[in-house]
Structure 1
Amino acid sequence: MAGEVRFDTASRAMWSADASNYRRIPIGVVRPRDTADAEAAIAVCREHGVPVLPRGAGTSIAGQAVNTAVVLDYAKHCNRILEIDPDARTARVEPGVVCDQLRDAARPYGLTFGPDPSTHNRCTLGGMIGNNACGSHSVAWGKTVDNVHALDVLTYRGERLLLGPGGTLPRGADPLHISTQSHSDAESIPDALRQLGERLGDDVRAAFPELTRRVSGYNLDQLLPENGFDLAKALVGTEGTCVTVLGATMRLVESPPARALAVLGFPDAYTAADNVMVVREHNPLTIEGMDAGLIAALRAHNPNETTSRALPEGGGWLYVETGGATREEAEAAAHAVVKAMKPYGQTGSVVVSDPVRMRALWRVREDGAGILTRSPDGGEAWPGWEDAAVPPERFGAYLREFDQVLARHGRRGVYYGHFGDGCLHVRIDFDLLTREGIANFRSFMEDAADAVVKYGGSLSGEHGDGQARAELLPRMYPKEIISGFEEFKAIWDPDDAMNPGCLVRPKRMDEDLRIFVGMPRLSGKPELAFAHDRGDFGRAARRCLGVGRCVTGSGGVMCPSYRATGEEMHSTRGRARLLFEMANGEVITDGWKSPEVAEALDLCLSCKGCKRDCPVGVDMAAYKTEFLAQRYKNRPRPLTHYSMGALPRWLRLVARVPGLPRALNAAARRPRLAAVAKRLGGIAPERAIPPLAERPLRASRRSFGETGTRGRVVLWLDTFTGHFDPVIAGDAVAVLTALGYRVELPAGEVCCGLTWFSTGQLGAARRVLRRTLDTLRPWLRESVPVVALEPSCAAALRADLPELLPDEPDAKALAGAVRTFAEVLAPHAAELTELADRAGPPATGRRALVQTHCHQHADLGNEADRTVLGALRVDAEVLDSGCCGLAGNFGFEKGHYEVSMACAERVLLPAVRAADPDVAVLADGFSCRTQLRQAGTREPVHLAQLAADALGLR
């Protein structure tokens, strides 16, 4: 076949889990390029009697996307939209098309694809068909099954069928079909299914609940004549247990041109749930719900976030989205909902129609699944009983009884979900580490299933049954229906080779639990404190739950190497899986010496984007540091660890020799000498060596601004500012003294140790930091703020320093004393505006493109920067460009140049090239400025330079 065939250890490890509690090592992974590849792969598996598991993005939460089988992964290659027919309102797609990809393609026609799970920017349509996925707009547009028109499918025995209403469709009905010789018994499948529907019709009508969110079990109701004997819809939600989907024709719906969001506050989630039927009368697009616990978890996860402050007062909330032909019409519909809900216990409301503010509020809800998996003290919560649904008119009563079930089993959970459809999402603090805890898990699941059935509900309302709930199906359906499920699968898959053990004759829900069977076996104490994971590297390595935010194509910072290569190994999720398996030792057996883990981490930029953007706070930069520290303990290191890893030391030595910086700059301009230097230092030959400042900034004066009416600050003279861009420090001093600060400089050298930290040289990093603490101790004793101009230094001192020296009080004091330049200026916004107005506008006006440093994004935030730019009357566009690609030493290391530049070319460099000549490019990070300079765009500036210019101080 033309596609990828991967039976290597790393691939088997990375595809061993989905977003559920379960783990099973696959036989291998196949990534077809087209339908011919899929047919060839299944033919080989059939020849050898090997089971097959079709899979999309791997974000399934019930465990249906893991098995001891050959995984057919359609996400990478089979992702073409073949046709959109706006008149018929249909789209023909391959199974690897991402949900948002289809929605974006349909938007110019005023259409959209209705189902939109919270994973809409990475989940595939093949996976949505497999799970019968729904999403927040199901009250308006239903589940995936309601939006499927036809399916092109392949059985394990090689039968190729085109399915739709009435059974099979003519071969020429859909050009998805690639000419192939179908087996002669293919036509017997519809006949057998028709007979099954006729025989079980009355049982199905009696046993299937009248429920918009019934996802559990097979869709035997689609075999009934009143439902059109629709075999395409009958296969939706079969979780890869019957066929593999090669193509689909999906239904599109009209998308309102404008939307508004009404957020309604209630005293608690019960009251919100009690009143969803009133909201439904207004025919909104969405009725979502959240509990106060989710907001508490969000704020604990990200103390710098501000979006939740926009929520109205309350302990439970409903998100109600409305649509209209105009923004005013959508807003009016939202206000009508607010007015209608006032008599029903509403504690407050807010209506938003600005798309940016709406997206920010929606992200609070969409990140719920990940946020709730960890408490601030490192406590863990898990899926399992994840998405049951009941009739929405009974939702409030069910929610109260569900809380009683939790209490009876000593468990806690936080709610969110699709309240308008009676569907509840919850992550629960199950103990999956001990046999006693697992017994409690099983007992809880059985009682929870009985409770949802009591209220006429479905065990699954969105994510499918999988291994998590299939064992419980006999509690929901009578034995006649369970037998019908078995016969339905046998008609499609008589060899029981498609995802066996899922749905029919299921595996036990308390087997293959990823946490229990994958307990870490690494010995020894970690080098870092891992304070958020109770000092346990194994606990940190299992933080990733596989929700897949890192395998998206745009938005945010993570994961730049994945976006450059498209390889699972270079995603945060892929790396986390490899580290988990390394800690376990079953598949990856070399521990810290593992070549698979080393290869995966080699292209990790240590940008820390995952630390902020990953809903569960995976910090791959820290894990890479730990890995490097352990791997090279008492062993020779790569050249770059000695050259760039110790760069501050070399630069200090150079600065002590008069004239040496100038001589080195001259040598760097001579190609042969530069090539030798780069080869000796492990530097990429494509890179230029940045020129040193010929007069490095040294603390010749100890203070500036003698009066200090605003108080004292100590300026952190970092390596990069002092030795490469000293003009920035001068401008910073000018601005701070103009605001009335007394700026003081430490007498000795200070360093945050970042270059040693990022290369895993933690002993050296600790020594450097202890010397720094000795130097700064007089200021720390007097609580003088420490102003850092380089974002990576500020982030290292706030976040990495406590991980390296967790028991040293001065380390905590320095972490608390560090301020960014913007954080010092932001409280004086009014004065800055007055000074800027007095200085007068420059002739060309003030506009700027802002490249936020990755470490600032992760550890510091940029609210203060936005405030300062506004105060200086700078019209600033903050780029959603992700990492610049240089990332400290990463982009300079040999072998990384292409990935480094691919990261920059995604958004940053095209945006800079397209900007008008008078637009300043603001980049506070030395790495970002160097990448821009070496890309040959324009000279970037630091906020200190922009502020000095705006205030007339230059």
Structure 2
Amino acid sequence: MREGSLEPPVRHPLDWNDPDFTNWEKLDAEMRRVFDICHGCRRCFNLCDSFPRLFDLVDASPDEMHGVKSEDFKQVVDACTLCDLCFMTKCPYVPPHEFNLDFPHLMLRYRAAERARGHVEPIRDELGKTDRNGRLGAVASPVMNWAVSEKNGLTRPLMEKVAGVDRHAALPKFHSKTFMLKARQETPEINREAPGFGRKAVLYATCFVNYHNPGIGEAARKVLARNGVETEVLYPACCGMPQLEAGNISKVAEGARKVSEALLPWVEKGYDVIALVPSCALMLKFEWPLILPADAGIKKLSQATFDITEYVVDIAKRNGIAPGLKPLEGGVALHIACHSRAQNMGQKAAEMLRLIPQADLAVIERCSGHGGSWGVMEGNFETALKVGKPVARQAQNAGKAHLASECPLAGAHIVQGMERIADGQAAATQSRHPIELLAQAYGL
């Protein structure tokens, strides 16, 4: 047997319509097979809380893996945030190795099997309805932002009691003007003298940018316009990452078909597709084709999709970057998001910010610990801060004027982690997306 595969990781399609996928006995056998291999390796011990929980179970068993109760597997599954770092960066036994380990997708399979048996977490499902929640939040943004503020001693304890959302966890704020609305009202002027003139791209707004932080989308449009790129903005629906986390694969497939039907006509017209948040780029590029492998449209869309930082770097390499960038005073502590790393494209955010003259970067390549809807739940939030403490410490010690993360949720979580360890020192009050810093360097 090889001690690890020398080939790049390969992911197999998810056969989620096969009855065996949710068969509890066959799932249990596969869980034991994989967990036994993980227990013998332990290379992922410091990535997240899933692996310490697993290893503690095995260590407490009188007969190693054979003595671990199947009902105890759930605590391991519940701690997985589907960050994909074990698969992409640590595990030596991923396909094409004969052990054929895909730990995150096994956790996903377990959640799908739970759902098939009627075991559903209603609160997580409600939190995952990002479009409904975003529309409601936009209509009543002043009231909603007051209610979700972690400083609100009236609503947040009530939210914790009723919905299980930790009262101390930062939650995204809502905007009355969505990115789609702003895009209809103002189109940046295209720089026809720019090296990248002639490129055309559709910005897939994503639920987060559309409802919670339109500034990321506005910055992206302005940077691209400065570089000669004509853009359109579309937001048919959420990419389905929250539903994926909950094991609701059929719902993800439904959303994938809806979004692809809206974006594909633009691809046919020669437009590239740019996702503004790395989790959404990961879904379009990798997860959707694994969920719907026979769908030619999904495959074509995945091949036309870029992450926003990846796209700007591609312009710089192929065409040259438009002039006008000025140094950012004080430097940047840059967190590389897990779902950027899972795209296997390199540190594109760092490459992009190094286009800025006199770039001063402290790059942090480690999980923030947030994990989407998982990280805000009561019982998880403190664990999420613990997992992300090394990131918060590195960001604090870097002493830079700016903090940035490609993942807006991770960025806010890092800020909270830095506040916990500041010990009287100044801590960052906000995190920004790297594309916002590039726009600032352009004076936009």
**Kindly tell me: are residues 570 and 797 of structure 1, through their superposed partners in 2, closer, same or farther at Cα, counting changes over 3 Å?**
farther
Pairs within 5 Å for 1:270-281: none
Q: CA deviation at 1:764?
A: 1.7
The match for 2:215 is 727
Q: Aligned to 2:179, what secondary structure does the other structure show? A: coil
Q: Which amino acid aligns with 1:931?
A: H
Which residue, out of 164, 173, 179, partners 1:682?
Answer: 164
The match for 1:608 is 84
The match for 1:548 is 41
**Kindly tell me: are residues 793 and 890 of structure 1, through their superposed partners in 2, closer, same or farther at Cα, counting changes over 3 Å?**
same
Q: CA deviation at 1:945?
A: 0.8
Are the aligned partners of 2:114 and 2:120 in contact in 1 as well (CA < 8 Å)? no
Are the aligned partners of 1:783 and 1:817 in contact in 2 as well (CA < 8 Å)? no
* In the alignment, structure 1 residue 889 sits paired with structure 2 residue 373: yes
CA distance in 1, matches of 2:130, 2:9: 38
The match for 2:422 is none
CA distance in 2, matches of 1:570, 1:883: 23
CA distance in 2, matches of 1:878, 1:570: 35
CA distance in 2, matches of 1:651, 1:561: 30
* In the alignment, structure 1 residue 673 sits paired with structure 2 residue 152: no
* In the alignment, structure 1 residue 946 sits paired with structure 2 residue 437: yes
CA RMSD, aligned part only?
3.4
**What are the Cα deviations for residues 742-800 of structure 1, in whole angstroms up to 9, with x where unaligned?**
01112x52321100011111222222222112211211323421111101111111121
Are the aligned partners of 2:333 and 2:400 in contact in 1 as well (CA < 8 Å)? no
Q: Aligned to 2:201, what secondary structure does the other structure show? A: strand
Q: CA deviation at 1:540?
A: 9.0
The match for 1:649 is 132
Q: Which runs of 5+ in 1 are unaligned?
A: 1-19, 21-367, 379-522, 528-535, 554-558
Which residue, out of 608, 611, 620, partners 2:103?
Answer: 620
Q: CA deviation at 1:818?
A: 1.2
CA distance in 2, matches of 1:833, 1:813: 27
CA distance in 2, matches of 1:562, 1:599: 8
CA distance in 2, matches of 1:888, 1:792: 10
CA distance in 2, matches of 1:943, 1:551: 28
* In the alignment, structure 1 residue 369 sits paired with structure 2 residue 3: yes
Q: Which amino acid aligns with 1:548?
A: C
CA distance in 2, matches of 1:711, 1:833: 13
Q: Decide which structure has greater helix share.
A: 2
* In the alignment, structure 1 residue 877 sits paired with structure 2 residue 362: yes
CA distance in 1, matches of 2:137, 2:11: 45
**What are the Cα deviations for residues 197-244 of structure 1, in whole angstroms up to 9, with x where unaligned?**
xxxxxxxxxxxxxxxxxxxxxxxxxxxxxxxxxxxxxxxxxxxxxxxx
The match for 1:768 is 255
CA distance in 1, matches of 2:171, 2:161: 12
Are the aligned partners of 2:50 and 2:76 in contact in 1 as well (CA < 8 Å)? no
TM-score (norm 1): 0.39
Q: Decide which structure has greater strand share.
A: 1
Q: CA deviation at 1:732?
A: 0.6
The match for 2:348 is 864
**What are the Cα deviations for residues 183-204 of structure 1, in whole angstroms up to 9, with x where unaligned?**
xxxxxxxxxxxxxxxxxxxxxx
**Kindly tell me: are residues 932 and 863 of structure 1, through their superposed partners in 2, closer, same or farther at Cα, counting changes over 3 Å?**
closer
* In the alignment, structure 1 residue 814 sits paired with structure 2 residue 301: yes
Q: Which amino acid aligns with 1:895?
A: G
Higher RCO (Cα < 8 Å, 6 or more apart): 2
**What are the Cα deviations for residues 543-597 of structure 1, in whole angstroms up to 9, with x where unaligned?**
67446253455xxxxx22168x5761589x99xxx9xx8xxxx8778xxxx4211
Tell me the percent identity. 20
The match for 2:72 is 596
Are the aligned partners of 2:159 and 2:167 in contact in 1 as well (CA < 8 Å)? no
Are the aligned partners of 2:148 and 2:156 in contact in 1 as well (CA < 8 Å)? yes
Q: CA deviation at 1:741?
A: 0.4
TM-score (norm 2): 0.81
**Kindly tell me: are residues 675 and 861 of structure 1, through their superposed partners in 2, closer, same or farther at Cα, counting changes over 3 Å?**
same
The match for 1:241 is none
Q: CA deviation at 1:926?
A: 1.8
The match for 2:123 is 640
**Kindly tell me: are residues 680 and 860 of structure 1, through their superposed partners in 2, closer, same or farther at Cα, counting changes over 3 Å?**
farther
Q: CA deviation at 1:861?
A: 3.0
Q: Aligned to 2:244, what secondary structure does the other structure show? A: helix
Pairs within 5 Å for 1:270-669: 369-372=3-6, 524-526=19-21, 542=33, 545-546=37-38, 548-553=41-46, 559-561=47-49, 568-569=55-56, 594-612=70-88, 613-617=90-94, 618-633=101-116, 635-655=118-138, 657=139, 660-669=140-149
Which residue, out of 812, 833, 841, partners 2:327?
Answer: 841
CA distance in 1, matches of 2:123, 2:134: 15
Are the aligned partners of 1:832 and 1:871 in contact in 2 as well (CA < 8 Å)? no
Q: CA deviation at 1:377?
A: 8.8
Are the aligned partners of 1:562 and 1:570 in contact in 2 as well (CA < 8 Å)? no
Whose radius of gyration is greater, 1 or 2? Answer: 1
Pairs within 5 Å for 1:715-754: 715-746=203-234, 748-754=235-241
CA distance in 2, matches of 1:734, 1:750: 23
CA distance in 2, matches of 1:701, 1:538: 51
